[in-house]
Amino acid sequence: MTDPGERLRSSLAADQSSSASSASSGGAADFDSPIAMEALRATRVLHAADQDPFPVPSRIRVITIANQKGGVGKTTSTVNLGVALALYGLRTLVIDLDPQGNASTALGVEHTVGTPSVYDALVGDNSLGEVVHPTTASPKLLCVPATIDLAGAEIELVSVVAREHRLRRAIEAYVHELPPEQRPHYVLIDCPPSLGLLTLNALVAGDEVLIPIQCEYYALEGLGQLLNNIDLVRQHLNPGISVRTILLTMYDGRTKLADQVADEVRNHFGDLVLPAVIPRNVRVSEAPGYGQSVLTYDPGSRGSTSYVEAARQLAERGVDLPPLERSGLAGANGAPPVTAQSTVSAQDSQ
Ligand SMILES: Nc1ncnc2c1ncn2[C@@H]1O[C@H](COP(=O)(O)OP(=O)(O)O)[C@@H](O)[C@H]1O
Ligand SMILES: [Mg+2]
């Protein structure tokens, strides 16, 4: 596994030798000072898009971030991966689908009752375009916030026609309304900690699932149930959906347990697990209190650089994705939409 610090150090040193002007006053030897290292890492993250943009995906990627366990890092990963993708040049839309509205908070987006939100698009008649808000993190990052109204949506949706397809239709309509140069490259959906109708909408809306797994006891408990649900959705509602990414979160290198869990997850899921691991890092947990992601709150922290590394790996896996037969989404680059069919035979490539 490449250590993000190591990788940054060598690429920073390369930058230094090729350019006379730099944020640092000295040569490469100064990187050995922890403060200089951190300052350079911060500069690197904040001026990311100019230096080292992430690759554009071959089509729009709608990624559902799901795990019915609470506190495993779904929201933290959605927010920080979203900010990283945007800072590194990719247009990204975060959809907050948890009534708690934690992703909205971390992106500095208002989500008090009455704020136009995802509820209005799911249960009401608003289009997604009417409930999209800018974020404080990046002009390339937009957010559809969740208000507490969403807590009632699980029940209200029961009587709505095509209730499982509401979010998918909303996203498709939103993308089609936009000119190609404004279409998102990435749509990230932050799920609530349950397997109810909201998560079901997110699984029907997504092309792929990213499961954050906390490197702790019981990490794998309940995962079978989630995987079964994803299988059911694939069989009956969304033939294109599959788990494409596992992200290990809250890794504490001081404990043997964290390594054991990480090994177990890698043995089980193989290449689906991103090489980058998110460490337990206090700056990550402080950031939302300031309405920020860790990348903007403390860009040089290990939490920040790990999320950048994870986002880069995620983006690198998006450059030659197979087309989605059943999707109605046009490519972010203006590629023509692929056939819009609601029922096609399963074409799972796993
Ligand atoms: N890498 C991390 N280091 C430290 N704390 C973290 C980290 N990731 C998440 N947390 C904290 O753990 C708690 C649960 O994370 P969260 O993303 O809200 O989980 P979920 O959305 O799955 O319920 C939050 O308080 C968050 O700030
Ligand atoms: Mg959450």
Q: Calculate how far, in angstroms, residue 280's C-alpha sits from the geometric centre of ligand 1.
A: 9
pLDDT at position 35: 73
pLDDT for 350 beyond 80: no
pLDDT at position 303: 97
Sheet-wide strand order for 141-144: 133-134, 141-144, 92-96, 186-190, 61-65, 208-214, 243-249
Choose which CATH entry (3.40.50.300, 3.40.630.30, 3.40.50.620, 3.30.930.10) describes domain 59-316.
Answer: 3.40.50.300
Q: Calculate how far, in angstroms, residue 102's C-alpha sits from the geometric centre of ligand 2.
A: 6
Ligand 1 is surrounded, with C-beta below 6 A, by: 70-76, 102, 193, 249-250, 278, 280-281, 284-285, 288, 303
pLDDT for 346 beyond 50: no
Calpha distance 187→194 (Å, rounded): 20
Q: Calculate how far, in angstroms, residue 20's C-alpha sits from the geometric centre of ligand 2.
A: 44
pTM, rounded to two decimals: 0.84
Q: Buried b / exposed e across 50-84, counting CB within 10 Å, b at 16+?
A: eeeebbbbbbbbbbbbbbbbeebbbbbbbbbbbbb
Does 307 or 330 have the greater pLDDT score?
A: 307
Q: Calculate how far, in angstroms, residue 71's C-alpha sits from the geometric centre of ligand 1.
A: 6
Round the average pLDDT of the chain to a whole number and report it. 85
In the chain, the amino acid numbered 33 is S
- Considering only CA atoms, which residue is closest to atom 14 of ligand 1? 71
267-293 pLDDT tens trace? 999 999 999 999 999 999 999 999 999
pLDDT for 116 beyond 90: yes
With the most atoms of ligand 1 within 8 angstroms of its CB, the residue from 100, 247, 249, 285 to mutate is: 285
158-168 pLDDT tens trace? 888 889 999 99
Q: Which residue, among 20, 17, 24, 18, has the nearest Cα to 44 in the 3D structure?
A: 24
14-36 pLDDT tens trace? 444 444 343 344 444 455 677 77
- Considering only CA atoms, which residue is closest to atom 12 of ligand 1? 71
194-216 pLDDT tens trace? 999 999 999 999 999 999 999 98
- Considering only CA atoms, which residue is closest to atom 5 of ligand 1? 285
